[in-house]
A and B are shown apart, each in its own frame.
Chain A
């Protein structure tokens, strides 16, 4: 050690690597976790458990039976310990479905033990310990391991398996054995296992990636929708604010000889309104986005429920039969509620246009003392099957709008194959 520590450069690095080797080996071949068992139906393992388990059971049974004659001299009765060895070996491999590392260690240990116990009885000239069944057993253990650990660890295990076979064989009486055949078969098993694992990892990553993208897209849609809603609501507020500023200026003209106090007060109201407008401009500057321009919504005032008939007329001309009814006393509602109710009807109807062409739609607006309800239902589409994905956008917007006002939104299919959206917007919280 003192000699090594005196070295520099490459020598030092090699020494460090050598010192780290035991730890690396321990981690790779014992302590480091293996990949978790992929869940049923997960990518890369569509039939992982049931079918694979049956196949493995069959394989180890056949291998076990095939293995028995290797361990018993010709013509002799099968001793109990041989049966025990074979059964243990089979069970070890079966546990390899869940704990491939331990299974591999167990198989290796059982191989060494069986060589120790049975070698005395063997006739020289047999392939030993690398008989056909033994190679297959070790190959299966390595294959199971390679399916679940990094290729480097599987490679290390392969080398260790071969060394163990070599040492087990060489410490018994001199038998003929074929290290090359064993090396080739075991190497192939590891390569196939590693390849399958790589495939599974790649697919899992792909799925994760697309899930992330999907999540990202959903999040962005939500933000855009909120942005749009916030923009509209601020817009309504700004509109009212500018009317306040005008009225505050007009008021002194409406009375003869307004007092100084009145003038002062009205000036104060106007100044506050103008300041609030300046802030709103700033907020709207932040909220503005490219699609606001495309929306073209600033060519027209923000809609209220009064313009429902106009909207329904447009939808009718697009080929949907719409009936509308209003219950309760129709009266002006807070601007935010009016706007949201209108937009919910608009989005629900445009969903009908998109997903249920040829359906009949019904719009019900109910004015209650503490809430306004909006219900849009449609019958089954005339041409089924054109309903496409991506319809969540409208529902998302409706949900956001309803939530913003402290209301409830329910939606879902109706028994007849149609669809229903019901929004309840409370009035009290805002008044």
Chain B
């Protein structure tokens, strides 16, 4: 099945460049381009892409707000991959909290780009687990924004589910979690979707953020 991608960036060179690179990949198709956040909202509604490549810095409506609206829309299926020029900072973290599934540096190689789109579309692992974990660990401490929706507490999870959640937060993929717990991967998938439903989260990236912010997982050294 082809992964349908929308690219939102205010720079034409970047949009065209990523379009060429992604269209060259098997199984990935760029279905549209948006020039700013507002355009991205409209094109997402119109084209229903699987993945939106979203620049953080855009005129009119910034990428973080656009991400929040896209992922917050009822029945939203599009996953957002945030693009950043070079900042692995609180903005990227803010984007993750706003519903983005992962982030990517703009100077990533074509392979990394395609890999990122595939991982985000599949949703069974964190993108760049090591860096993502570090980013979440660092900024969950200092983030001053509103907490994620607390529709259910960690207490509502079963013991096994809590265990899976903490492994997600460690950056493990479903397959790795299955190996770790000595269960079938399908079982892990079931656990993960139950966790997401119980906590009202949309994907494992938000689950990882939740695990850190709720204190289930403590960043090493703090």
Contacts and interface: CB of A to CB of B under 8 A. Distances in A.
B157 to A, nearest CB: 34
Contacts of A241: 107
Nearest to A281: B86
Contact of A250 (B21, B59, B106): B21
A173 interface: no
Given A301-B10, A301-B58, A277 B107 contact: yes
A247 to B, nearest CB: 6
Contacts of B16: 250
Interface in A247-283: 247, 249-250, 253-254, 273-274, 277, 280-281
Most buried by A among B85, B89, B90, B107: B107
B107 A299 contact: no
Given A298-B91, A300-B59, A246 B86 contact: no
B21 A249 contact: yes
B167 interface: no
Interface string B53-73: 000111100101000000000
Interface in A364-417: none
B17 A246 contact: yes
A290 to B, nearest CB: 11
Interface string B69-97: 00000000000000001110111000000
Contacts of A300: 57-59, 62
A315 B56 CA distance: 25
B53 to A, nearest CB: 12
Interface in B135-149: none
Nearest to A300: B57
A371 to B, nearest CB: 27
A95 to B, nearest CB: 69
Contacts of A301: 10, 57-59
Interface in A14-47: none
Contacts of B10: 301
Contact of A243 (B11, B57, B91): B11
Contacts of A253: 20-21, 24
B110 A242 contact: no
A430 interface: no
Given A298-B56, A299-B62, A254 B20 contact: yes
A238 B17 contact: no
Nearest to A310: B59
A249 B109 contact: yes
Given A250-B17, A253-B21, A280-B86, A242 B107 contact: yes
18 contacts: A242-B86, A242-B106, A243-B106, A245-B107, A246-B14, A246-B18, A246-B21, A247-B17, A249-B110, A250-B16, A250-B21, A277-B107, A284-B86, A284-B87, A298-B87, A298-B89, A299-B56, A301-B58
Interface of A: 235, 238-239, 241-243, 245-247, 249-250, 253-254, 273-274, 277, 280-281, 284, 293, 298-301, 307
Given A298-B91, A300-B59, A301-B58, 12 more contacts: A242-B105, A243-B11, A243-B14, A243-B17, A250-B17, A250-B20, A274-B107, A280-B86, A298-B57, A299-B56, A300-B58, A301-B57
